Structure 1
């Protein structure tokens, strides 16, 4: 009798392990929450701090709300086909809802439109017929706040430059539009606007070229923090006093602000995007009304509040 019970128990354990392995699907990522409902979260990548913050928010929501959350992402944001394969893989496992940050919206939309469950987009929006909600930053607002902050540190008539992302990147394009509006309203003179593809090294090179023609530039708005840090290198190499504002609120940027280097950054809230993505996915599963657009907000980070922001980023980076 005892042997029979042991055998039954062993079989149950094996079946449970098989079920868990099937749920993981072999993709890069992790599960959390352990609830009855399952939400699949597919990010652009899991290899950068920004997306780790999104993952942390999603897992926190899963834990608090009792939802089984699976988070996966490609090796790099450029791995668009890998992301599409991950989306297909997660849909084949019949989650209750799907939360996605599409790397290349137009390419990813066809597979998302095959979903028969609620689909929520975070960070990056797309024209999707079956979209339940978009949760993310209003990028024009982020850029406008960045332009306002930069203007507040300068005098009317000062020359400024703008460093944009890759051509066609809708998020950074909107940030640039917002920044330009704020800078022009404040009477700044925009002498240069050049793309640096969200790359630190390229931004340094672009800024070096700008300074050759305009060595009296007093301020720079960069559409992401990596570019802002690259701009800073070029400025420091010339020994110039140029105010540089970034966008995103990454840990490296916040540390730079505390060191008296970057003048500020406009922080997105990736943790909130992840949290709200899972929270609203559960609401959609339960048939509750979900807003079509949810603004995750922005935060102006300067030396006054950088320490508080740094401590928060460190807690969610663990």
Structure 2
């Protein structure tokens, strides 16, 4: 099968999905039957961060009487799996869809075609530029990275050597966090001696950090683009018996507990629970024809030992 035929087949398939979604949704509204339904497609459901997003989405569904389905691939690196899940959810005719896109170039064709049927499409966590977008809900990942870099810099001295651990290559959220952190660290006079991808995976980040430490024994600080990677870095640092400040991103329960245990130095929380909750809440407004903002800020929290206990109590409450 040649490339041209493959592309034609893909376009026809996606177009059919959009047509089915639009017709089924219209039939449902005309009959006046059933609750509104919202499909939520996340980057993965295998990490605590995305579990908090899921919890927020389901809490909103329960509060507002909306049928909410949450799906996500086995890992953030499974980009094609996310696209397949997105197509599958659209084909099941939800009244709106909430998406956290892993790689924009892979999901935009599907989203653009779906938007032609007037399906409300709300993005969370990672923004994508396409005409049919209803709203983006989240925080600026670049800003979160800068906050993480500033927090790390406040714990170190000018001239100290630092490391950046990024996510899967091409992930816009973790890429922007790294860019923001790098800007803040360089502005503070710190030297970035290594930048390596940890694929948002704890074990891989630990291995990557062990390798970095073999070549750079004078590292004083690390910024990781998510908490799973930060915790992997902490393991590597502990195994070497070193005193290295490590800052993560996401504000997961495990990360907050690590802060209270004096291991992880801090984390930047982007309110994943709020993203999920506000995603469904605003999807319902869009379904009803209400006007919503094109950008909705879900907030940022800087978590250190001083406020970690309070954050832990909140995370425990939403996990029930």
Q: Give the alignment's TM-score, normalised by structure 2.
A: 0.82
- Tell me the secondary structure at the aligned position of residue 87 of structure 1: helix
**1:134 paired residue among 114, 126, 136:** 136
Cα pair 1:39 1:96 within 8 Å, conserved: yes
Q: CA distance change for structure 1 residues 75 and 213 in 2, over 3 Å: closer, same or farther? A: closer
What is the alpha-carbon distance in structure 1 between the residues aligned to residue 283 and residue 52 of structure 2? 18
How many pairs were matched up? 285
Deviation of 1:147 (Å): 0.6
What is the alpha-carbon distance in structure 2 between the residues aligned to residue 83 and residue 184 of structure 1? 35
Deviation of 1:35 (Å): 7.4
Q: Give the alignment's TM-score, normalised by structure 1.
A: 0.83
Match of 1:166 in 2: 168
Gaps of 5+ in 2: 1-32
Match of 2:85 in 1: 86
Pairs within 5 Å for 1:16-165: 36-115=35-114, 116=117, 117-165=119-167
What is the alpha-carbon distance in structure 2 between the residues aligned to residue 220 and residue 45 of structure 1? 25
- Tell me the secondary structure at the aligned position of residue 38 of structure 2: strand
- Tell me the secondary structure at the aligned position of residue 113 of structure 2: coil
What is the alpha-carbon distance in structure 1 between the residues aligned to residue 270 and residue 104 of structure 2? 20
Deviation of 1:162 (Å): 1.4
Identify the range of structure 1 (252-261 vs 78-87) with the bigger mean alpha-carbon deviation: 78-87
Q: RMSD of the alignment, in Å?
A: 2.0
Deviation of 1:128 (Å): 2.5
Pairs within 5 Å for 1:229-240: 229-240=231-242
- 1:16-58 per-residue CA deviation (whole Å, 9 max, x = no partner) reads xxxxxxxxxxxxxxxxxx9732222222333332222111111
Deviation of 1:261 (Å): 0.4
Match of 1:213 in 2: 215
- Tell me the secondary structure at the aligned position of residue 113 of structure 1: helix
Match of 2:250 in 1: 248
Cα pair 1:158 1:217 within 8 Å, conserved: yes
Cα pair 2:103 2:172 within 8 Å, conserved: no
What is the alpha-carbon distance in structure 1 between the residues aligned to residue 75 and residue 166 of structure 2? 21
Cα pair 2:36 2:66 within 8 Å, conserved: yes
Match of 1:177 in 2: 179
Pairs within 5 Å for 1:287-306: 287-306=289-308
Match of 1:188 in 2: 190
Deviation of 1:79 (Å): 4.3
Q: CA distance change for structure 1 residues 290 and 39 in 2, over 3 Å: closer, same or farther? A: same
- Tell me the secondary structure at the aligned position of residue 40 of structure 2: strand
Deviation of 1:304 (Å): 0.9
Larger radius of gyration: 1
Gaps of 5+ in 1: 1-33
What is the alpha-carbon distance in structure 2 between the residues aligned to residue 103 and residue 80 of structure 1? 6
Cα pair 2:230 2:247 within 8 Å, conserved: yes
